[in-house]
Structure 1
């Protein structure tokens, strides 16, 4: 009662300022709580999706995992031939719709070349939709070219959403799938196999020949 009387005695300007300050504080608290909850929700979705396991797959494993994921969700899936894929890695069908999928598991942003590859597939496959899926993101040029050619881009965030939505039907996590489906052997120019190695100074991973130091040929990991 005493506090109320004090407020009533204050000039109108001070009353207004007090109310404004109280509202600002309340908005700030609500924003902080909402941001905290959203951050934890996104972190949980990130972990459950298995995207980190995707990052450690090679291109072959990534394609096979996408095929496995779509099949488990009632898509009819055709994995194209490596030599004659005409810009497509998967042909998926559901409810009569035919979708051409190009998969890019990369450490760098996906550029224009990948868009050109799937655009080349449009006339050949005559599909309703064309998707490019990556665990990374796209360059500005790639996004512009995709938009002008009706190519649907699924970047890292959209892939996480897709995996979160489809993972309920899977019997294996991305990590378990990676252990089961071995990475495709990479052949060196000398004919021997290449394996993943790490630079002691930079910490970067690369492919090195198994016959090193006889053969010092290396290949970057995309």
Structure 2
């Protein structure tokens, strides 16, 4: 089936819907403040024109005509884009909730389309405090799918919804080139499948984090807010406390929210003791003490 041709107005709404709702409204307000004074500016009558001024007057009239319609159309498009952004955010929240609530999250992820897969990954990173820009329109096997921003740094994400194939080193090498071209501080390659050993070796030391199917499930679960529990009896309270004190197998860095690696202190008063260190060290020096069992 041939793709339906869209107007420039519809394309503008689609682009604005990918922004946060407040950004779309801000753009609409700024556009009206700029275009409205141009639209109501007085027109120089032809009798008052001097020789050589006709070109400038025609240009000004074209701008006035554009402003006359744009002062209303652009804010309307921004308002519709903001509504679309809110609806899209709600759908992504529902999508993440349905996947994490499934009895078999892996099968639920495999059943998603590649667009839903990208939306799911974006929502999970948004829950980790990143601002998300969806590049969109690059198909099921495109290049960079998401751009993350946090603490004035940019990170790239490539999503590979491959159920049966392993992601090889050519994909990771090409992604590293995109990171260099974009000046990104780091990147994530996310797949519902697995990575080859060559891909894992290439990613080491290049600030590329590879997230396979198992890591993706952990990412989804961490993105869901945990429900508060109220101890009913002293026995239940003791059990809950014991559960809380058990260290997570893969904690999150308290500074940059990256995954952490168990290390052993080699110097200082804590030499020989274990601790959790940020996987992005030395870029981030976040640590978490290993709690005793």
Structure with the larger RCO, 1 or 2 (CA within 8 Å, 6+ apart) = 1
